[in-house]
Chain A
Amino acid sequence: MSAPSTRRTVDSRGSFCPGPITDLFKAYRQANVGDVIELLATDPAAESDVKAWAEKSGNKVVEVSREKDFLKIVIEIDRKGR
């Protein structure tokens, strides 16, 4: 039996590399497969960093949208390592 999937917002605005990845990873540790994490960031490196992280860790970036003055990156948790 698996827990129902949840969607969680992680606010990394104002934090720079590797802050957003660290914040994302903390949320990832608590998450279950199927969960969705929405990461908000102002760091210009966040988009490519999150994509690199997702590729390496076996997860998926499903949406990147540019809000007024920050990025919203939506990540689907497909695999849990440790």
Chain B
Amino acid sequence: MVYPAFMLANTAATMGYESHIFFTFWGLQVLDKKKVASLKVSPVGNPGMPMPNILGMLPGMTAMATRMLNGKMKKVKMPPIPEMISSAKDLGVKLHACSTTMDVMSVPKENLIPEVDDIIGAATFLQISNGAQTLFI
């Protein structure tokens, strides 16, 4: 679920704050060319889902949760994720990919979307975010 990260980062940029997103582990698929257009909403382990985890594991449930959310987002005129990404870039939000995640999840550099600014590690992120408001989503 990547909407909250872009909603906050993009809004921060419109307010004149310097804004960065560091994509690690499950978050990195947002920067993966092959996955970004088809991101799913998992009902398992999702506290926002009104059903027990065991039901979320049934086949088709992820597709259903994804359809449900996309429909609701469209209703409130929320742009789809690829559009949120281009708007982030347009506003000057910096997108950083985590090098360890790329290795662990086997995402080579060529698979990253061109909007990615750089590939960094923990120390660089801590340096960038030093003294700033940091949110873990």
A16→B10 CA distance, assembly (Å): 14
Please determine whether A18 and B10 come into contact, CB atoms closer than 8 angstroms. Answer: yes
Chain B interface category by residue count = 10 to 19
B55 interface residue, CB < 8 Å from A?
A: no
Judge if B60 is at the interface, Cβ distance under 8 Å. no
A61 to B122, CA, bound (A): 40
Give Cα A16 to B74, complex, Å: 11
B78 contacts A57, C-beta separation under 8 Å: no
Is A6 on the interface with B (CB-CB < 8 A)? no
Q: Are A22 and B10 also in contact (CB < 8 A) when A16-B77, A16-B78 are?
A: yes
**Contact flag A53-B76 (CB < 8 Å), given A17-B7, A18-B7, A18-B10:** no
Check if B87 is an interface residue, CB within 8 A of chain A: yes
* Least Cβ–Cβ distance between B43 and chain A, in angstroms: 23
Contact A19 B78 (CB under 8 A): yes
Q: Is there an interface contact between A52 and B15, defined as CB atoms closer than 8 Å?
A: yes
How many Å from the CB of A32 to the closest CB on chain B?
Answer: 18
| CB neighbors of B among A36-82 (8 A) | 49, 52-53, 56-57, 81
Q: Is the CB of B76 within 8 A of A18?
A: no
Give the Cβ gap from A66 to chain B, nearest Cβ, in Å.
21
Sample of 5 more A-B contacts, CB < 8 Å, known A16-B78, A81-B16:
A16-B76, A19-B76, A22-B14, A22-B87, A57-B15
A-side residues, CB < 8 A to B, are 14-19, 21-22, 24-25, 49, 52-53, 56-57, 81
B binding-site residues for A, Cβ under 8 Å? 7, 10-11, 14-17, 76-78, 87, 91
